[in-house]
């Protein structure tokens, strides 16, 4: 599956049955599902990175940057929850990842490094490619960025950053996540230009080991940034600023708990859900069971609850519940959590409930930011040797200053999703145009559908969507 690139503009138009825009987890899994289906079809996956299957999340190379879910939770096969565990068992037996012994748990409970997970995704794609070849199906990696898209009645045409033009019967927006740390944003404060990449250990090695580092955001990206600093040899103070000052809880392996939402379909609103969830967690603790057990049962119902909620209820959730949902549900892998806890206890890492208000002038060769602490009216200036933007994912496509999102919005081929999260689509992924019509040639899956399902980024979410969308596309003409 060698990547191709013309390297220069051309008037020729290449044709394929399906054009997949993005070759990270979403694009790779959709291609794998399409290749495994009966029938002959040609696929072009347009991805500027050198490899398919890695994307933003799984391009990390440091072993310390692990998945935030254990192997039993991260299968890319929606029909086999043990697929990653089985692959990992073979990989470790063959001599891969010898450091896995340090976790001292069964393989199903291991938290693999993201780079190794990327290898797993790539192998499953390669296997699907072999299956597809038996039916005459093909997949090709076109290494470029899509900068424009035209939807016609009978086809979709793409323009690429290298001048190529591609035409297909259908196109799929499998763009994955736009990480705030790496995403140019409209009307931004320029923070990304001044900040270190949370995963760039090499750049962090250039810092004075005893210097102060400032971090914006206290979620899982912050945890990764702290791991990066530790691996770079940084031993100085770390000051973390986030609006609520909440840290991700550590992910544990609780026992099964009754699926109370399946038993009581009357629980619909955020207030009802929170009230009942608290009651369930108290009941678990009374029985000596981890409170994470009841919480983990909610995950399967989030798509239903979110899609049936009114916009007012969704806004209530985002405003009042979201910070606590994120810190309790999107939990940290144990080894990373142990590091953060140790640094916090040592006093090296401090968490501040404060809102980031922008950059400030700094004449000392470092970086200064303006923050407003929670409960205070005045802004203060905080300085350090370096700044890391760990504010998570940018889901509002209107703020993403990349050519394709901007062109799609300008052409009216997409509209923002609920609460401006991602883009709007039908339940089966058909993209809604600005006037509300279903174009019929453009689809989306994964993180772009955040506004439709709220949780649309996890591996299991993407795997299930890939299977359903592949079946839909394979039945279309």
pLDDT digits (tens, 9 = 90+) for 331-387: 999 999 999 999 999 999 999 999 999 888 877 778 999 999 999 999 999 999 999
Residues sharing a CB contact under 8 Å with residue 146, sequence separation 6 or more, in sequence order: 21, 46, 158, 159, 160, 161, 403, 404
Residues 226 and 207 in one domain: yes
Tell me how far the alpha carbon of residue 451 is from its chain's centroid.
14
State the Cα–Cα distance between residues 227 and 110, nearest whole angstrom. Answer: 18
Last residue of a domain, one of 329, 357, 379: 329
Query: Residue 289 domain-assigned?
Result: yes
pLDDT in tens, 157-181: 999 999 999 999 999 999 998 877 6
CATH code at position 412: 3.50.50.60
Averaged pLDDT score across all residues of the chain: 91
Q: How many CB atoms lie within 10 A of CB 264?
A: 11
Residues 270 and 373 in one domain: no
> Is residue 47 within 8 Å of 24, Cβ to Cβ?
yes
Residues 456 and 373 in one domain: no
Residues in the chain, pLDDT under 50: 5-9, 187-188
> Is residue 394 within 8 Å of 217, Cβ to Cβ?
no
Give the pLDDT confidence score for residue 182 in this predicted structure: 66
Query: Residue 134 domain-assigned?
Result: yes
Residues 190 and 317 in one domain: no
Query: Residue 192 domain-assigned?
Result: yes
Task: Residue 290: give the domain boundaries.
Answer: 260-329
Last residue of a domain, one of 314, 329, 344: 329
State the Cα–Cα distance between residues 24 and 175, nearest whole angstrom. Answer: 8
> Is residue 207 within 8 Å of 378, Cβ to Cβ?
no
Residues 162 and 239 in one domain: no
Residues 322 and 336 in one domain: no
User: How many domains, in total, are found in the chain?
Assistant: 3
Residues sharing a CB contact under 8 Å with residue 345, sequence separation 6 or more, in sequence order: none
Residues 46 and 145 in one domain: yes
Residues 293 and 417 in one domain: no
Nearest to 241 by CA among 322, 355, 330: 355
Give the pLDDT confidence score for residue 308 in this predicted structure: 86
> Is residue 33 within 8 Å of 76, Cβ to Cβ?
no
Query: Residue 6 domain-assigned?
Result: no
Query: Residue 347 domain-assigned?
Result: yes
Give the pLDDT confidence score for residue 393 in this predicted structure: 85
Residues 50 and 189 in one domain: no
97: left (phi over 0), alpha (psi -120 to 50) or beta: left
Residue 16's SS3 state is strand
Q: How many CB atoms lie within 10 A of CB 46?
A: 25
What's the whole-model pTM score?
0.91
Residues 170 and 307 in one domain: no
Residues 55 and 148 in one domain: yes
Between helix 83-93 and helix 114-134 the angle, nearest 10°, is 110
Residue 3's SS3 state is coil
State the Cα–Cα distance between residues 217 and 353, nearest whole angstrom. Answer: 10
Give the pLDDT confidence score for residue 164 in this predicted structure: 95
Residues sharing a CB contact under 8 Å with residue 297, sequence separation 6 or more, in sequence order: 257, 258, 259, 260, 261
Residue 393, phi then psi, degrees to nearest 5 = -105, 140
DSSP for 383-428 reads EESEEEE---B---GGGB--HHHHHHHHTTS--B-GGG-SB-B-TT
> Residue 196 forms beta bridges with which residues?
388
Return the residue matching tokens 């923050």. Answer: 371
Residues 297 and 402 in one domain: no
Residues sharing a CB contact under 8 Å with residue 79, sequence separation 6 or more, in sequence order: 467
Query: Residue 412 domain-assigned?
Result: yes
């Amino acid at each position: 599956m060698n990547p191709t690139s013309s390297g220069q503009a051309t008037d020729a138009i290449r044709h394929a049955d399906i054009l997949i825009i993005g070759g990270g987890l979403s694009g790779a899994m959709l291609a794998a599902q399409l290749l495994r289906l009966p029938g002959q079809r040609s696929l072009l996956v347009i991805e500027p990175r050198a490899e398919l299957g890695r994307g933003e999340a799984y391009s990390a190379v440091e072993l310390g940057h692990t998945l935030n879910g254990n192997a039993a939770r991260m299968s890319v096969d929606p029909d086999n929850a043990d697929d990653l565990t089985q692959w990992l068992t073979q990989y470790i037996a063959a001599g891969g990842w010898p450091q896995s012994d340090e976790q001292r748990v069964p393989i199903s409970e291991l938290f693999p490094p993201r780079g190794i997970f990327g290898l797993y995704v790539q192998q499953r794609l390669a296997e699907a490619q072999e299956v597809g070849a038996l039916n005459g199906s093909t997949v090709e990696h076109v290494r470029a960025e899509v900068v424009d898209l035209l939807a016609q009645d009978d086809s979709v045409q793409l323009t690429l950053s290298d001048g190529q033009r591609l035409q297909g019967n259908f196109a799929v927006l499998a763009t994955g996540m736009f990480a705030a740390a790496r995403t140019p944003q409209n009307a931004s404060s320029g923070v990304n230009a001044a900040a270190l990449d949370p995963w760039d250990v090499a750049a962090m090695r250039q810092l004075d080991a005893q210097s102060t580092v400032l971090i914006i955001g206290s979620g899982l990206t912050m945890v990764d940034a702290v791991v990066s600093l530790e691996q770079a040899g940084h031993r100085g103070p770390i000051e973390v600023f986030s609006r609520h000052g909440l840290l991700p809880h550590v992910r544990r392996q609780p026992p099964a708990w009754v699926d109370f939402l399946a038993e009581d379909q009357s629980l619909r609103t955020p207030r009802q859900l929170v009230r009942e969830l608290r009651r369930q967690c108290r009941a678990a603790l009374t029985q000596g069971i981890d409170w994470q057990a009841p919480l983990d049962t909610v995950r399967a119902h989030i798509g239903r609850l979110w899609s049936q909620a009114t916009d007012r209820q969704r806004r209530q959730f985002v405003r009042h519940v979201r910070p606590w949902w994120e810190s309790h549900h999107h939990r940290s892998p144990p080894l990373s959590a142990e590091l953060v806890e140790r640094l916090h206890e040592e006093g090296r890492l401090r968490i501040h409930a404060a809102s980031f208000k922008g950059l400030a002038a700094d004449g000392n060769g470092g970086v200064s930011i303006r923050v407003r602490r929670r409960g205070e009216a005045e802004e203060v200036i905080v300085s350090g040797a370096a700044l890391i933007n760990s504010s998570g994912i940018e889901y509002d496509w209107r703020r993403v200053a990349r050519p394709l999102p901007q062109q799609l919005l300008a052409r009216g081929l997409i509209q923002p999703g609920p609460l401006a999260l991602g883009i709007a689509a039908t339940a089966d992924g058909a993209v809604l145009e600005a006037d509300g019509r279903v174009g019929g040639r453009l689809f989306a899956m994964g993180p772009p559908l955040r506004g439709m399902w709220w949780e649309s980024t996890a591996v299991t979410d993407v795997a299930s969507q890939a299977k359903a969308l592949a079946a839909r596309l394979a039945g279309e003409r």
